[in-house]
Amino acid sequence: MRFVLIVAPILALAACATPETRVRTALIDAGLSRPIASCMAQRMVDRLSLGQLQKLSRLSGLKESRIGQLTVREFLKQTSALGDPEILGVVTTAGLGCAIAS
């Protein structure tokens, strides 16, 4: 019973994570630096559909296959493999803007 009282609020909070938070976490999991991922997530979340964001989150396994930080250029290359020109355009615009701003 105590377990349920402790875990239930935590699960409720996790379910409330904003799309921007989820995108930022997926970008960090993919290997992008925290500042770049935060900037890109903020710029991308309103421009991509939920389905497109889910496709993009599938790239989160990239970090496991490499050592060190993933560059925006490398991330764009991987994003192009998704075959969705709209995702690529939004990610490219966000990535370039964030890379220049940082």
Q: Where are the domains of the chain?
A: 18-101
At CA 96, angle to CA 35 and CA 34, rounded to 5?
Answer: 15
pLDDT digit string (tens) for 11-67? 454 555 788 998 898 888 888 899 999 999 999 999 999 899 888 877 765 555 555
From 97, 92, 99, select the one nearest 48 (Cα to Cα).
92
Nearest one of 61, 59, 71, 53 to 17, comparing CA atoms: 53
pLDDT of residue 3: 44
What is the reported pLDDT for 4? 44
State residue 45's pLDDT score: 92
